[in-house]
Amino acid sequence: MDIHKCLINRVDIVHRIARLLMLAGMGKLPLYVIEKLKWDLGLPHDYVKTLLADYPDYFDVCSIEDPLSGKEMLALELVFWRKELSVSDLEKRAMSLDYCGDKRRHDIAFPMFFPKGFDLEKRVKTWVENWQKLPYISPYEDAFHLDLSSDLAEKWIVSILHELLCLLVSKKTERGNLLCMESVWGWTQDLRRLWFITLAYFTFPIRLGLRHCP
């Protein structure tokens, strides 16, 4: 049986694409970006016609301006915000531990794993521990009001990257696919710089021991 014909699998893929578009903030992404992530998302070959076309209440194909070239290009757009899907992987885990209300948000820390025998310097370990204690901001929230030079803004960016990787079937993707995201999200230069720094942590996980999705 074709796994893409299974209703459960189709709905799962649709929800993951919807959440990916919600991460984009503006609710739309160029089709070439979706194409880059096609296999990581578990999409069928001709996914626009064989899958997305069956969910007009979720998706629409529109034209947007390429932020780099200024030319028009096709994009996938989320028809409307899906509040029920705007719960991150880490928030779901926190809820499974019976956290509730605002306490759930503040108690969330990223899972961290270090190679056997690897120890952080004391000052670095202290910084990481304090960083983990900062309030968790959902990747689906608009946090552009934050001071982008702050540790809190960095934690928000990490939450976006963590959630993005959790949406992928393999929980990983080529670094180039992640690098292209910042150019289509309409971020400021400072936010793009923070994204690059965050990618460095995930590219070399030994630095912080960050693990996206176990």
Interval 123-163: pLDDT, tens: 777 877 888 888 999 999 988 788 877 888 888 888 888 89
Q: Tell me the pLDDT tens digit for each residue of 68-121.
A: 677 899 999 999 999 999 999 989 888 877 654 444 455 688 877 666 666 667
Measured distance CA(188)–CA(140) in Å, rounded: 18
Q: Tell me the pLDDT tens digit for each residue of 29-40.
A: 989 889 989 999
Q: How far is CA 7 from the centre of its chain?
A: 24
Structure tokens at 76: 């996938």
pLDDT at 204 over 90: no
> In the predicted model, what is the mean pLDDT of the chain?
79
